[in-house]
Structure 1
Amino acid sequence: MKTIIKTDKAPAPIGPYNQAILAGDTLYVSGQVAIDPATNQVVQGTIEVETILVMNNLKAILNEAGFGFEDVVKTTIFLSDMGTFAKVNEIYGSYFTGNYPARETVQVSVLPKNLNVEISVIAFKG
């Protein structure tokens, strides 16, 4: 069974996709960027400001589906500049309490809306 997850506490999709899909016990959350869910406007600031907003958007989607960061098993982080990795990693890590998920981090040439960080997650409750 597949369920579409949607919340107004995270940005509306900017294309033909959903915020998240719950398939059985697994939640697939689309990549989130620094868009303010209240205004659906891009928030360009420091990498710290963008990362906090991205993580809060992910949290809102996870919570809407009845999940939390403790249920995340896999993340993917896309950065426009690998030089920001340490700052992103510090903020990212603060949302988890041990039992960290598997992860990859890659630098890409451009992200949607010319932002600097995008993160997607997969969560599981079994």
Structure 2
Amino acid sequence: MMRQLISSGAPWEAVVGYSRAVRVGNVVEVAGTTAQDGDTVTGTDAYTQTRRVLEKIGAALNAAGASFEDVVRTRMFVTDISQWEEVGRAHGEVFATIRPTASMLEVKALIDPRLLVEIEATAIISA
């Protein structure tokens, strides 16, 4: 089965040894994605960051030949669970009718203290 690696071009992908997404067969796994692009973090609030994260996930899915409609699971990691409604609102704007399974967990910290949310996604492309 063919293995397709999708890179975002971030310099730390090679250093850490990961891909933005990997497609094997009809399954696409998108790595933990944040609102950080180089030294820039888009947004200082959870809603804006989540919107940027989902844009980046959408681009990775597209590069793998998938779309949001193929997503069956998301995992949301937030640094402050009291902001769940902001993250949930942005997530719902994309997935309201798709309704993948989802988890939202509070974590102690993300790699940059400006980051409030990180999301992973799993997609299964229908034949």
* Cα shift at 1:7: 4.2
1:42 is matched with which residue: 25, 40, 43?
Answer: 40
CA distance in 2, matches of 1:72, 1:35: 22
CA distance in 1, matches of 2:53, 2:34: 5
* Cα shift at 1:99: 3.1
TM-score by length of 2: 0.87
Counterpart mapping for 1:43-82 below 5 A: 43=41, 44-82=43-81
Q: Which secondary structure state, in structure 2, belongs to the residue aligned with residue 18 of structure 1?
A: coil
* Cα shift at 1:13: 5.8
Structure 2: stretches of 5+ with no match in the other structure: none
* Cα shift at 1:98: 1.1
Q: Give the match for residue 27 of structure 2.
A: 26
CA distance in 1, matches of 2:84, 2:96: 20
Q: Aligned letter for 2:7?
A: K
User: Runs of at least 4 residues of structure 1 off by over 3 A?
Assistant: none
Q: Any conservation in 2 of the 1:25–1:124 contact (CA below 8 Å)? A: yes
CA distance in 2, matches of 1:41, 1:95: 26
Q: Aligned letter for 1:41?
A: D
Q: Give the match for residue 4 of structure 1.
A: 5
TM-score by length of 1: 0.88
**Distance 1:78-1:116 versus aligned 2 partners, 3 A rule:** same
* Cα shift at 1:97: 4.5
* Cα shift at 1:5: 1.4
Between the aligned residues of both structures, percent identity stands at 32
Say what the alpha-carbon RMSD is for the aligned residues. Answer: 1.5
Structure 1: stretches of 5+ with no match in the other structure: none
Q: Any conservation in 2 of the 1:32–1:58 contact (CA below 8 Å)? A: yes
Q: Aligned letter for 2:85?
A: A
CA distance in 1, matches of 2:3, 2:28: 10
